Chains A and B, each alone.
Chain A
Amino acid sequence: MDYYVDSKEPRSAIRNLSFSISPGEIVGVLGESGSGKSTLALALLGLLPGNARIRAGSVLFRGQDLLRLSHDDFRPYRGAVISLVFQEPAMALNPVMRAGDQISEVIRAHRHCSRTHRRELAQEALRGARLSTAPEIYSAYPHELSGGQQQRVMIAQALVCKPALLIADEPTSALDVTTQAEVLAYLKDSTTRLKAAILMITHDPTTLAGLADRVLVLHEGELVEYGSFANVSERPAHGYTRSVFSSIPKPPVTAIAHREEQSDVLIARRISKKYSGKRWLGKRDVQAVSDVSLTLRAGSTTGLVGESGCGKSTLARCLAAIERPDAGEVWVDGFDLFRLPSHELRERRRAVQLIFQNTAAALNPWLTLEEIVAEPLAISGLPLRQRRDQARALMEELGLPVSRSTHRPTELSGGQRQRLALARALAARPKILVLDEALSGLDLPVQAQITKLLKNLQESRALAYLLITHDLRTAGQISDNIAVMQTGKIVEYRSARELFSEPQHEQTRSLLNAIRSL
């Protein structure tokens, strides 16, 4: 297969790329966001958006040049011969259609068979995806499924017509580490069974380890490296490849001893929070957080690790006094936040600032960068000019381009947006930063930069961090202590080094296994 794609304006997404893939082979495509790897996936299926043009090149599949096919002639290939698994299963499944019907629809598009037969095939595909309760999954709507189940449905959908090539575009980056490992194993398994080839697109080289036979490294639309995974990972030739492999988090890192004498800035005692979900038949209560106690020290980092849905974000919202727990106390600076009258609470809770994962959603797109950072300063009563100067100083300290302070956040990259969110949080002069998955979703080199920045800020301002993540690797990298959470409870809470060397609880061990198998 010889290949060369080029989208015309305003820039070319992919230039002069050639590779081949044969049955049963797994080829990884590694690149940061914007490197053209998703464009590649769409181009292979003839699904480039209307503003993209292919200037030259060919995609040869069993001797047929797919790029010469019309949209309609291409249709029988899509989903049946070449299929695609998207990054975010929650977005890629139709919200108003039952999961099983969405699989059955693919069969309908490619084969002539009766409705009941289609139904059987779809059920079989779901069972094949190791979804133990296949009949229930069949009639469930996407929002009723977990992220891992959704992704299995997507993969079952992609495999139901037994394709020759499966393109997986970041198939696991929206999933928990533990689920990631399962989904990857299932993917590998089923393709060996079907003798299908996989083109695995990702920004995270760890997902390719032990899976990919060969790796293509894409950087700014060009193929910069090509070879077996072992070769590329051990002897990276290109600068970008080197920076990716060197920034893989390698826990545990040094626990710092000299901070022992630091004072406690936040003490949480026996926090509990219950959500009551109303259903048509009766109520279903969810105990999101139960009886959790936690202490944050100035200048130190506590990692809070658990799978999605374990209650870690709820706990974070309680600590930041955004949500009122049903029981428990949160002491900040010697005050119990939930016993304060509301005007004092408003003043005190500024000491705890939250940073979110989805920075695109957490920043007001209508404000300029400067206004965003200056907003928390409004309460200080300083004149506008001084507030602006302070905002600019903060932006400069965090490595943001001050020359663009009147631009909007949508023009920034993911890493820059996270820096901006940090600047805004610091403007409130907090003592505690709660980082809710603040590093996930970023490219690895960017992650490493932000981690370094966080460490510097902590040293210069004696900040306490609560780092919330599903990935023990990230937590182990900068945390002094780690708390492992499972179904609303903290099951293990020790220094990072001890936790890694001698995990006590089963959940900790399974989280550790998940990152080791990657």
Chain B
Amino acid sequence: MKKTITMTVNGQIMKAEVEPRTLLIDCLRDQLGLSGAKVGCVVGKCGACTIILNGLTVKSCMMFAVQADGAEIMTIEGLAGDGELHPMQQAFTDKSAVQCGFCTSGMVLTATQLAKDHPNASEEEIKDAIGGHICRCTGYVAIVDAIKEGCKRMSEQQG
């Protein structure tokens, strides 16, 4: 029995018809065409499916789409401005923090959220923040560097 849900996704109101068991990640990717969030492990461990839901980072493979009815969602597609990368995205490329790219969208969203909540996050706090993400390529060194730099740039932009 399908249900109709309504969400605000990247600033636009969107409707979807979903089964009660449809995962939010599948709804976003397969129905709304937002494939920036990836399906990694489907056990909530790898973070590739991370989105921002009502201001919080959420692993969208761990939620049913119906639970997001009425929610405000931002996916990686909503982060960059027209023609320009968001400062956190720019920091990731400047610090060589991208290799295969599969973990990247989730990492970047978690990082932007961290920067908003803790603009002066220490290295340990950054590691804690991305503790729910897996990257198999970089060894995390460049990612931690990029997040430090991104936090700095985001607070400069606001300040």
Q: Is the A/B pair a real complex? A: no
A residues adjacent to B (C-beta < 8 A): none
